[in-house]
Amino acid sequence: MKIAFIGTGHVGAALAVRLDASGHDVVLAQTKEASASLAAALARSKSLTARPLADAVGGAEIVFLAAPFSATEGIVKPLAAALAGKVLVDCTNPVGPGLSHGLKSERSGSELVQSLAPAARVVKAFSIYGFENLEDPSYPSYGVKPVMLFCGDDRDAKAHVARLVADVGFEPLDVGGLVQALHLEHMTLLWIRMVRAGGQSPTLVWAALRR
């Protein structure tokens, strides 16, 4: 798949490197000159390349949004036409003061993203853990893969994302329509409170067990 990444911080870089290693054609969007995070991401793989934002998005089949949530409107709204018909993977989380939901739980960040790019096929994914789990999702002692929950309204878009989830090393679990994104964002807040604030191991993940 041809994949573009908007945002090359801890989350974006980790996913870009893993998907690049899985054989996908990954390009990093250059949103500003002299970006230290972009340079660091490029240094991690010789096959990763960077292009200007519009070029990166225009040539991609799937676009990952992994920039800080505060930058969402400024990035997505001007790209609405270019994102039409593309799978837009929302990895962001609106985190407010005191580890509250940044949109007051009135709607999810993914629903905001969808409103900014109404013709994009938005899928919420790769959002419920910290970057440490994206760097290395292997848990060989347990005999199961950690689960990655995702949601969206477009069945075909979710099928593409499920394959990428598996390529990164997680068990994909479709939890329903984009309305579920708010619950995933609260799940992220739970993880942050347990790990970043509560001192649990940053390798903490969830698993889906069935009889």
12/23 Cα distance (integer angstroms):
17
CA 168/CA 1 separation, integer angstroms: 13
In degrees, to the nearest 5, what angle opens at C-alpha 58 toward C-alphas 177 and 157? 20
The pLDDT value recorded for residue 32 is 78
Q: Rounded distance, CA 5 to CA 57, Å?
A: 8
Q: For residue 38, with 0-12 CB atoms within 10 Å meaning exposed, 13-18 middle and 19 or more buried, which class applies?
A: buried
Enumerate the domain spans of the chain: 2-197
In this structure, what is the dihedral angle of CA atoms 204, 208, 209, 210, given to the nearest 10 degrees? 180
What does the pLDDT read at residue 65? 98
Q: What is the pLDDT of residue 199?
A: 97
Helix (H) or strand (E) holding 83: helix 80-83
Quickly count: other Cβ atoms within 10 Å of residue 50's Cβ.
18
Is the whole model's pTM more than 0.75, yes or no?
yes
Q: For the chain of 211 residues, list the mean pLDDT of each consecutive stretch of 10.
A: 97 97 97 86 94 97 97 97 98 97 98 98 97 94 95 98 98 98 98 97 95 90
Domain made up of 2-197: CATH architecture: 3-Layer(aba) Sandwich (3.40)
The predicted structure's pLDDT at residue 89: 98
pLDDT at 115: 98
10 Å CB burial of residue 10 (0-12, 13-18, 19+) is middle
- pLDDT at position 4, please? 98
Q: Under DSSP, is residue 129 helix (H, G, I), strand (E, B) or coil? A: coil
The structure tokens listed for 57 are 């998005």
